[in-house]
Amino acid sequence: MTTAPTAHLLVEAAESLFAAGVMSHSGHANLSARLDGDRFLLTPGFVRGLRPEQLATVGLDGRLLDGELRSVSTEIIAMHSAVYRARPGVGTIIHTHSPAATAFAVAHRPLPCRTEPMLRFGQPEEVPVVPWGPRGSDVSVRGIASVLADRPTTSAVLLANHGLLVFGPDPAATAHLLVAIEESAEAELAAVALGGAVDFPAGALAAVRSSIARAAS
């Protein structure tokens, strides 16, 4: 199976995150895309200026099958594998230290869904917090798996004292959701100065879905 089309889409998703201004000062992130039931592509330890041929192919069992990875990426193979195992429909995973979302992670506060982009792009519920564990450790991976089991419809989690993990059907959709979550986190923090953010009215998700359906017909 050729990896080229998927690799190009993953690189485009990484570029879109920088263009949207949702990355941390360091630009730290790792992205992956499922190739089949047993393999996925993974960024090599950097994403700024990434090229398709630099992506590594990794097995869900943790083995490096092709390419090279820095130690900073080998630590997170288990994190990506855990999500792919728990969610067969997930095609892409993106982890960043996006500043506003990371503020919620550091505060151990779930991020409410109070902006329409979150409704539209796949997170019509709060983003839950995974308890802290050392990066890539069994504690961290078990925590992610446990939250995904408890919250079967969430498409993102906050990693306590660490950052944001978002997953979706393909690179573009996952990047769109990550941008929506970071913008929502920014809005939540800004709304504090105005007395605090307000929940959607009942039926908001159904209304948005109806609007999308009308526009597509």
In CATH, what number is assigned to the domain containing residue 200? 3.40.225.10
Give the pTM.
0.95
Task: Name the 3-class secondary structure at 160.
Answer: coil
User: Can you read off the two tokens belonging to residue 26?
Assistant: 């360091």
d(CA 171, CA 174) in angstroms, rounded, equals 5
Per residue in 4-57, pLDDT (tens digit) is 899 999 999 999 999 999 999 999 999 999 999 899 999 998 899 999 999 999
User: Burial level of 142, CB count in 10 A (0-12/13-18/19+)?
Assistant: middle
Give the tens place of pLDDT for each residue, 161-210. Answer: 999 999 999 999 999 999 999 999 999 999 999 999 999 999 998 998 88
Give the Cα separation of 115 and 117 in Å (integer): 6
b vs e for 195-212, b when ≥16 Cβ sit within 10 Å of the residue's Cβ? Answer: eeeeebeeeeeeeeeeee
Tokens of residue 214, six digits: 């009308």
Domain count, the chain: 1
What is the domain extent for residue 77? Answer: 4-216
**Residue 1's pLDDT band (boundaries 50, 70, 90)?**
very low
pLDDT in tens, 54-64: 999 999 999 99
Name the pLDDT band for 128 (thresholds 50, 70, 90): very high
